[in-house]
Chain A
């Protein structure tokens, strides 16, 4: 059973380009979370999605960032017109649980995608 798969692992973009980060949750997981880790910082929650629905995007910057989790295929975090401040590690996590059921140790993180904006 493969874990949470993220790609690319490393991505370099010039200022103004677009970055697309992909996340395939663990098999059987329908809940996906994106977190961002700025240099020397902890992880900050960005967005929580279920299939075809954004449930909580309270941590997403208001502009240039969007996320989706289509019925088929991986979840995508899209950053348009990247700036140097977007350079960070972006982590995806997945869980199998429905809201209200709590979680315990069932949140699994991917290896992360390191975005560098030059």
Chain B
């Protein structure tokens, strides 16, 4: 299995809703990442998990809450989002946080906040 699987592919949520994005990989990768991408912009790093521990938080608002239940799963819990949080949310993984083999990305979750 050489894939990163993200669910759901599309999500529409209200500003008072609570939802979660899910990311899964079975490649034995020990670093996992959340990126946010707005239209026609590059991906922006949000969080890095290294060996199931949060190692980098790029000053992301607390309405985004990451969780890494085990080495294969990464969640992003969403609560009280704003319309400007609408974006493509990408999950990625790599062998380790400092390896030189590149990232494997999922196809993303297209999030719309109404």
A interacts with B? no
